[in-house]
């Protein structure tokens, strides 16, 4: 049964390797990447509403986070993660 | 989260399809004004419904049959799909269809195992009188097999949780525990998939030579060896095992490819593509789980002596002669291998 135990270690090793990549690199997938890039493209001048809102729905632009991360600001610095929308506006 | 995304999309959506009786409060009384503010609506799809109208439509139990569309102020238009009609079909499939598919396949697999046990009974064997044993799987074969098996079982359990978890586990586990478990389950499923894929690739390369079909395999099929305890001529793998091999390799590769594509962002294949990937992935997974249930039965209780091939690596000589006569003849008949076996008489 040594082959079996080694196989378990093998599965763990590959899985942890993949997890490191997935949650690190792949989790910042192109969709998130896009959203992060896209949000910096919305410059002040592009804002529809002179009061600083993007549209008639009064939600500050920076409050929109997307992706599979449950709303954490994936792209931002660690100190910004999970902070409310206003706090990250314009930084990403 | 869903609400945030909804709001996010809303604030980026101009609207379409209904009369403009109420002007949206914040933008676009005229397109000039909008352009002045840096918004460039698609002229072929002028907004024709207000934000209020869209909110009202979205709140309805049944959505209108005609398309409600507008402008997306995001460079990536795919992100502007708020509700996709096929999405409803897919949701029905995902929520109800998959349960039926997996339920039926699991039921059939269990039924098949019961039938096999009843019709065929346990396939026992007499041991070689001199206790001779021969090598069947090298350590590296067993390593690859168990790596594939362990990862497959983890994948099957975490995968079935996506299908049945909400109905079977959530009610008695409670929301918090179920949600934590499922989140971890998702990460495990995503990560372990790579170990499985690696195992399948290794198996595909290492065992293909022994799993090519030959004329003798038809004899095995025709003898009805799967349903009766007869021993038809077989090479290293009998025809049934070859089917399992090809099912595992082809099914496993397809599961791997669809699985990895699903981990990648929507932008690779589009929303519709993702729905197809999920459908193919789940149906294949169901078929493979059923196949492997049969395989586990035959590799343990169903055929006595076969589990040793994968645990210790060697098998009883008499077992080998009765179950895989052509292999024994071919591999060990004429020469003396590694001292563990004396040539056949
Ligand atoms: C707990 C689960 C499993 C057990 C107990 C098991 C047991 C076995 C045994 C005893 C053999 C050797 C048969 C012989 O000597 O002829 C075998 C072979 C094999 N196993 Fe498994 N296995 C398991 C899971 C899997 C999984 C998940 C896969 C692939 C996805 C797989 C694929 C194969 C293949 C392709 C072979 C060679 C062909 C065959 O014997 O059918 N096994 N397994």
Please list the ranges in chain A whose pLDDT falls under 50: 40-41, 55-92
Domain membership of residue B99 (yes or no) is yes
> If we measure between CA atoms, which residue out of A86, A8, A7 comes closest to residue A52?
A86
Interface with chain A: mutation pick from B1, B9, B12, highest number of A CBs within 10 Å:
B12
Ligand 1: residue whose CA is nearest its atom 35: B245
Lowest mean pLDDT among A12-26, B20-34, B124-138, B259-273: B20-34
- Domain count for chain B, please give it: 1
Q: Cβ contact (<8 Å) for A55 and B27?
A: yes
CB pairs under 8 A between A and B: 134
Instruction: List chain A domain ranges.
Output: 1-27, 51-92
CATH number where B155 lies: 1.20.950.20
Q: Cβ contact (<8 Å) for A26 and B263?
A: yes
Domain membership of residue B267 (yes or no) is yes
Domain membership of residue B180 (yes or no) is yes
Q: Is the ipTM of this complex over 0.95?
A: no
- Residues of the domain holding B133: 86-332
Which band of pLDDT confidence, cut at 50, 70 and 90, is reported for residue B10?
very low
| Residue B15, both tokens | 């609207």
DSSP B97: I
| Residue B71, both tokens | 């402008």
- C-alpha A91/C-alpha B108 separation (Å) is 56
- C-alpha B89/C-alpha B83 separation (Å) is 12
Which band of pLDDT confidence, cut at 50, 70 and 90, is reported for residue B224?
confident
Ligand 1: residue whose CA is nearest its atom 3: B296
From A47, which residue of chain B is nearest by alpha-carbon distance? B37
| Residue A55, both tokens | 């549209």
B162-216: per-residue pLDDT in tens? 999 999 999 999 999 999 999 999 999 999 999 999 999 999 999 999 999 999 9
Q: What is the pLDDT of residue B226?
A: 79
Q: Is the pLDDT score of B223 beyond 80? A: yes
Q: What is the pLDDT of residue B229?
A: 78
Domain membership of residue B36 (yes or no) is no
Domain membership of residue B121 (yes or no) is yes
Beta bridge partners of B292: none
Lowest mean pLDDT among B60-69, B163-172, B291-300: B60-69
Question: Where is pLDDT greater, at B77 or B25?
Answer: B77
Neighbours of B102 (CB within 10 A): 21
Which pairs with CB-CB distance under 8 Å and at least 24 residues apart come from B150-153? B150/A4, B150/A7, B150/A8, B150/A11, B150/B195, B151/A11, B151/A15, B151/B192, B151/B193, B151/B195, B151/B196, B151/B199, B152/B196, B152/B288, B152/B292
Taking the whole predicted model, whether its pTM rises above 0.80 is answered as no
Instruction: State in Å: Cα B209 to ligand 1 middle.
Output: 16
């Amino acid at each position: 049964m040594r082959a079996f135990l080694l196989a378990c270690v093998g599965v763990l090793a590959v899985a942890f390797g993949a997890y490191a990549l997935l949650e690190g690199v792949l989790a910042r997938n192109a969709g998130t990447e896009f959203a992060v890039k896209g949000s910096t493209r919305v410059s002040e001048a592009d804002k529809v509403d002179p009061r600083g809102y993007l549209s008639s729905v009064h939600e500050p632009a920076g409050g929109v986070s997307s992706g599979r991360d449950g709303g954490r600001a994936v792209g931002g610095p660690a100190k910004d993660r999970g902070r409310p929308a206003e706090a990250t506006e314009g930084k990403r | 989260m869903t609400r945030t995304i909804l709001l996010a999309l809303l604030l980026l959506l101009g609207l379409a399809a209904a009369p403009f009786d109420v002007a949206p409060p914040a933008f676009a009384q005229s397109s000039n004004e909008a352009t002045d503010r840096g918004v460039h609506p698609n002229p072929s799809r002028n907004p024709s419904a207000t934000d209020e109208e869209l909110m009202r439509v979205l709140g309805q139990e049944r959505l209108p049959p005609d398309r409600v569309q507008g402008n997306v102020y995001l460079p990536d238009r795919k992100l502007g799909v708020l509700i996709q009609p096929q999405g409803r079909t897919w949701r029905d499939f995902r929520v109800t269809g998959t349960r039926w598919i997996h339920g039926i396949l699991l039921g059939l697999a269990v039924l098949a195992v019961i039938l096999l046990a009843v019709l065929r009974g346990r396939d026992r064997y007499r041991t070689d009188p001199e206790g001779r044993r021969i090598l069947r799987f090298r350590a590296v074969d067993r390593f690859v097999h168990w790596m594939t098996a362990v990862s497959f079982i983890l994948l099957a359990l975490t995968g079935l949780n996506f299908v049945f978890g909400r109905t079977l586990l959530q009610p008695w586990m409670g929301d918090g525990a179920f949600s934590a478990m499922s989140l971890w389950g998702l990460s495990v499923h995503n990560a372990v998939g790579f170990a499985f894929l690696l195992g399948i690739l290794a198996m595909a390369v290492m065992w293909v030579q022994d799993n090519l079909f030959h004329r003798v395999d038809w004899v095995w099929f025709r003898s009805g060896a799967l349903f009766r305890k007869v021993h038809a001529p077989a090479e290293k793998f009998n025809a049934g095992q070859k089917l399992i091999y090809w099912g595992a390799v082809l099914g496993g590769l397809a599961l791997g490819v669809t699985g990895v594509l699903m981990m990648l962002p929507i932008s690779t294949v589009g929303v519709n593509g993702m729905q197809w990937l999920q459908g193919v992935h789940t149906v294949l997974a169901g078929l493979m789980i059923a196949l492997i249930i049969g395989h586990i039965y035959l590799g343990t209780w169903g055929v006595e002596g076969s589990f040793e091939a994968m645990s210790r690596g060697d098998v009883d000589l008499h077992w080998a002669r009765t179950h895989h006569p052509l292999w024994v003849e071919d591999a060990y008949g004429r020469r003396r291998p590694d001292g563990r076996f004396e040539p056949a008489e």
